[in-house]
Structure 1
Amino acid sequence: MTIKSIAAGLLATTMLAGAAQAATLQVAIDSAPAGLDPHLITAFNSVVIVQGNIYEGLTAIDIDLAVVPGLAESWEVSDDGLTYTFSLREGVTFHDGSAMTAQDVAASIARVQAEATGSPLASRVSPITAVNVVDDLTVELVLNAPFAPILTSLSGIAIVPAEFESDVDALQQTPVGTGPFAFADWQPNSYIELTRFEDYHQQGKPQLDAVRFHFVPESATRQVGITSGDYHLLPAIDPATALQLQGIPNVTVQETRDLSYTLVGFNAAREPFGDPVVRTAFNMMLDRNEIIEGALFGAGVPAGPLSPALVNWALDTGEYACYETDRDAAMAMLEEAGVELPVRLTMNVLPRQDTRDIAQVVQQQVSGAFEIELLNQEIGQFVQDWQNSNFDLFVSANGGSPDPDEYFYRTFRGGGSTNVFRYDDAEIDEWLDAGRSETEFEARKAIYDQVQRKLACEGPIAHIAYGNLFTAVANSVEGFEIYANGRLTSLVDVTVQ
């Protein structure tokens, strides 16, 4: 063998090795995000990009929905449960090269709490009355009362550089975090690309060079793309697509029970939904099993206020009398309440295939009593109207949480940070305040049992279904694990062959 041929062989081997290591994971989602600021976003297509990939919290949630260390490697709690002292990891840097310190933690919490920010996460940190910077790697959180879910809540509070504390615009387009991937590029109507953060604090991770999130509105196009090899991952696909991809060569569909749920939301500030009798009657007209069969291809279970995945908390939906479909009784209740029928309303529809299908079935099931016009909106308009409570009704999907307080308090507490329903009930407020300060499990469960029983029929949400969460994964991808909360947390361990 000549020197020239040896050199050529070595070059080819080097190029092949480089190609195996320099991989970009191609992900397809159904639409572009409405923004990327971790303290402002609510839509799935924003959260799935930033949470755990670009940003991290003091704590994290593992695949079993347990709290584990995040940017804080450990913490101590005072005997009275009012002071939490967090020890931060050494050597953590932001994507801009600056060191992450306790001052950034303090500024991030203050940013979420600030009224000017308008963060939907504000209720998660409302019991924190002081954040004391002890030194660069130690931060102390002081509470006004014991706050049982604080460690779970902090997992969703991304730490951002302190310089952004008063800036509510910059991070929407150009995020800066500590996560395994750094923001690289956003091509409107095309893709967002993240690149490997070379100085990530977990040595040897991530192994991917980049992750590119393609915006592909058509489900059929995404399906063709993963079967042809153009895409490696389709997160949170609808049940119809999951069914079609079952058994396709070189594609695996991972599945778990979803923490998130589909819902119909009522504006309690608009008639007739200010009356709990009307909300109960609407629930009684729904046939959730029919909705699941018709819109979700049977992949789901009727939804109560908490997911059955939360086995320690969720009540069986058999406890809720309004879940027994009874159209005649519902009509009688509406007439007795003095509601002039039919009630003409509009319903905002989240731009997803499952929610579009659910909206159509619900429209049919309540017709005669409620004549509903469906408004199919693009994601930006839907989110804006949701935030401004500009709706009679809406159909959407909402992410769940491992602790009931994270969902219930911000959603149903009067003045809660995502109480877009304008719902206000003194009894619910009292129970929710007690639930977050009670630290004994059995006592907390008794409180949240009461909350579930009342919200299921009288609350401002008709919970529709907890579906099965599906993600299609090309067989060339190794290391991906599906999380029940829908996060792509495992991308840090993914490789592409």
Structure 2
Amino acid sequence: MSIQKFGIALFASSMLATGASAASLNVAIDSSPAGLDPHLITAFNSVVVVQGNIYEGLTDINADLDVVPDLAKSWDVSEDGLSYTFKLHDGVTFHDGSTMDANDVAASIRRVQAEATGSPLASRVSPITGIEVVDATTVKLTLDAPFAPILSALAGIAIVPEELENDIEKLQQTPIGTGPFKFDEWQPNGYIALTKFDGYREDGLPKLDGVRVNFVPEAATRQVGLTSGDYDILPGIDPATALQLHAQPNVSVFDTRDVAYTLLGMNVTRGPLAEPKVRRAINMLLNRQEIIDGALFGAGVPGGPLSPALSSWALDTSEFDCYTPDVDGAKALLEEAGVDMPIKLSILVLPRQDARDISQVIQQQLAAGGIEVELVNKEIGEFVQDWRNSDFDMFVSANGGNPDPDQYFYRTFYSGGSTNVFQYDNPELNDLLDKGRSETDQAARKEIYDDVQRMLACEGPVAHLAYGNLFTAVNNKVEGFEIYPTGRLTSLVNATMK
């Protein structure tokens, strides 16, 4: 045997003996992120790269949707529920080598709160009125009223270096966090490369040498790449792709009930959409089961304002009378509203295959009631910008869910909420949402959010469509992967490669 062949054989036998190895893992998604700043991003392609991999918060949400410690190893709550004192882990460093301490935590929260930042997360920390750095590893947060979901809300607030508090440019291109992987390189039309952070606070983690997130526009190319081993994970795949990949012998398809949802959003400042009766009529024209069967291949359930995965919160959609398709009833309601017919509107479409398919079904369904719809397709950066600027009549999208109702409802539907792109203002709903976040009794909170769901379901600015199963396809070379209902790739910290 030649020396070269002997070396190859020795390497192969060594790999067989050690089993799983530290190696780089390849993820494939459909397009490049619009940005990487954890306090500004909203799109899945950005979140899947940074959240849980590059960045961490004081708390985290695990696979069971429970709040667990993260950068904060413990916390104490005052008897009146108005102050939370967090004790941080010692010796945590950022990817640039600087030490993470309580000053960085304080700066990160202020950064999200600042109007100049324009963070869509601002409503999550709006009840925090005081931030005191007690010492390097202790920070005390004071609230203006009891805020039941604060620990859950803080899981979404990434901690960034203090010196970037007033910089809203750098982190979009060069993220700096404390997570298990650090940013290495971004090839705009190719990939984002992350490398193992050797200074990570947990010994022995991460187990991978790195993660490369590849931008692969063609779904067929992503599928072939997964089965051939060029790619290791396809996160957040649509039901049709999941069905196809189920049959592949070297692929596992993980699924869980999704807290994310598909929706038809409506700008209430645009003509007839200002009229609640028109929004109710639109709901009556939607056949959600037809949307699920035609666009999601049957993989989903009709969606109300909260996911059925939140079993202690969500109302059954049978409570919402507008969810029964009724074309004649919708026409009568539009006539009663006194709007000029036919109504002509446009739908801004999220550049994802399921959103495109859903939009086409909705276009046909609304046409039956005399609502003519033009579909507007843009790339993800333009979509996000138009969404943030409320530059749409309607839009079809998929939004990430949250384990506590406040995290979705308050920022989305409260007047002036940080993601209230619908320009919706309902004083009665505002009052309920204020009560919901300050009420600490679980049964009383449930009653409040039941009323919120009933108020939003038929006449709110969002027609909730469906909650599907969340699918992620994984090549069998990968070990230690766990799917999270939030869609994040948090479990990559424990993953290995055969």
Q: Name the counterpart of 2:493.
A: 492
Q: Name the counterpart of 1:33.
A: 33
2:110 is paired with a residue whose SS is: helix
Q: Name the counterpart of 2:457.
A: 456
Q: Which amino acid aligns with 2:194?
A: L
Once the two structures are TM-superposed, the CA of residue 21 in structure 1 deviates from its matched residue by 3.3
Q: Name the counterpart of 2:407.
A: 406
Q: Which amino acid aligns with 1:33?
A: P
Deviation string, structure 1 residues 181-210 (Cα, Å, up to 9, x no partner)? 000000011100100000100110000001
Q: Name the counterpart of 1:302.
A: 302
Q: Name the counterpart of 1:257.
A: 257
Deviation string, structure 1 residues 213-272 (Cα, Å, up to 9, x no partner)? 001111111111101111100000011100111121100101111000000000011111
Superposed counterparts of 1:38-437, under 5 Å: 38-367=38-367, 368-437=369-438
Q: Name the counterpart of 1:465.
A: 466
1:142 is paired with a residue whose SS is: strand
Distance 1:407 1:154 in 2: 14
After superposing the two structures, state which structure 1 stretch, 67-76 or 338-347, moved more.
338-347
Once the two structures are TM-superposed, the CA of residue 29 in structure 1 deviates from its matched residue by 0.5
Distance 1:326 1:373 in 2: 22
Distance 2:101 2:387 in 1: 35
1:21 is paired with a residue whose SS is: coil
Distance 2:249 2:10 in 1: 34
Distance 1:152 1:8 in 2: 50
1:253 is paired with a residue whose SS is: strand
Cα pair 2:284 2:330 within 8 Å, conserved: yes
Please, which runs of 5 or more residues in structure 1 have no aligned partner?
none
Q: After the TM superposition, which segments of 4 or more aligned residues of structure 1 sit over 2 Å from their partners?
A: 3-22
Question: Percent of aligned pairs with the same residue?
Answer: 69
Once the two structures are TM-superposed, the CA of residue 455 in structure 1 deviates from its matched residue by 0.2
Once the two structures are TM-superposed, the CA of residue 13 in structure 1 deviates from its matched residue by 6.5
Deviation string, structure 1 residues 32-80 (Cα, Å, up to 9, x no partner)? 1010000000000000110000000000011100000010000000000
1:483 is paired with a residue whose SS is: coil
Once the two structures are TM-superposed, the CA of residue 304 in structure 1 deviates from its matched residue by 0.1
Distance 2:302 2:200 in 1: 42
Distance 1:19 1:449 in 2: 51
- From the superposition, tell whether residues 267 and 9 of structure 1 become closer, same or farther in structure 2 (CA, over 3 Å): closer
1:408 is paired with a residue whose SS is: helix
- From the superposition, tell whether residues 8 and 44 of structure 1 become closer, same or farther in structure 2 (CA, over 3 Å): closer
1:455 is paired with a residue whose SS is: helix
After superposing the two structures, state which structure 1 stretch, 19-28 or 5-14, moved more.
5-14
Q: Which amino acid aligns with 2:461?
A: P
- Residues matched between the structures, number: 497
Q: Which amino acid aligns with 2:399?
A: N
Cα pair 2:256 2:484 within 8 Å, conserved: yes
1:111 is paired with a residue whose SS is: helix
Distance 2:70 2:15 in 1: 36
Once the two structures are TM-superposed, the CA of residue 8 in structure 1 deviates from its matched residue by 9.3
Q: Which amino acid aligns with 2:275?
A: D
- From the superposition, tell whether residues 12 and 412 of structure 1 become closer, same or farther in structure 2 (CA, over 3 Å): closer
Distance 2:455 2:345 in 1: 25
Distance 2:308 2:27 in 1: 29
CA RMSD of superposed structures (Å): 1.9
- From the superposition, tell whether residues 111 and 4 of structure 1 become closer, same or farther in structure 2 (CA, over 3 Å): closer
Q: Which amino acid aligns with 2:388?
A: Q
Once the two structures are TM-superposed, the CA of residue 6 in structure 1 deviates from its matched residue by 9.7
Q: Which amino acid aligns with 1:133?
A: V
Distance 1:28 1:479 in 2: 18
Once the two structures are TM-superposed, the CA of residue 411 in structure 1 deviates from its matched residue by 0.1
Deviation string, structure 1 residues 334-379 (Cα, Å, up to 9, x no partner)? 0111111111111100000100000000000000521111011100
Once the two structures are TM-superposed, the CA of residue 490 in structure 1 deviates from its matched residue by 0.4
1:36 is paired with a residue whose SS is: coil
Cα pair 2:267 2:390 within 8 Å, conserved: yes
Q: Name the counterpart of 2:441.
A: 440
Once the two structures are TM-superposed, the CA of residue 93 in structure 1 deviates from its matched residue by 0.4
Distance 2:8 2:336 in 1: 87
Distance 2:162 2:127 in 1: 21
Deviation string, structure 1 residues 92-123 (Cα, Å, up to 9, x no partner)? 10000001000000000000000000000000
1:373 is paired with a residue whose SS is: strand
Once the two structures are TM-superposed, the CA of residue 18 in structure 1 deviates from its matched residue by 9.7
Distance 1:10 1:462 in 2: 61
Deviation string, structure 1 residues 432-458 (Cα, Å, up to 9, x no partner)? 000000000000000000000010001
- From the superposition, tell whether residues 199 and 344 of structure 1 become closer, same or farther in structure 2 (CA, over 3 Å): same
- What is the TM-score with the length of structure 2 in the denominator? 0.97
Distance 2:480 2:336 in 1: 58
Distance 1:440 1:198 in 2: 44
Once the two structures are TM-superposed, the CA of residue 22 in structure 1 deviates from its matched residue by 3.9
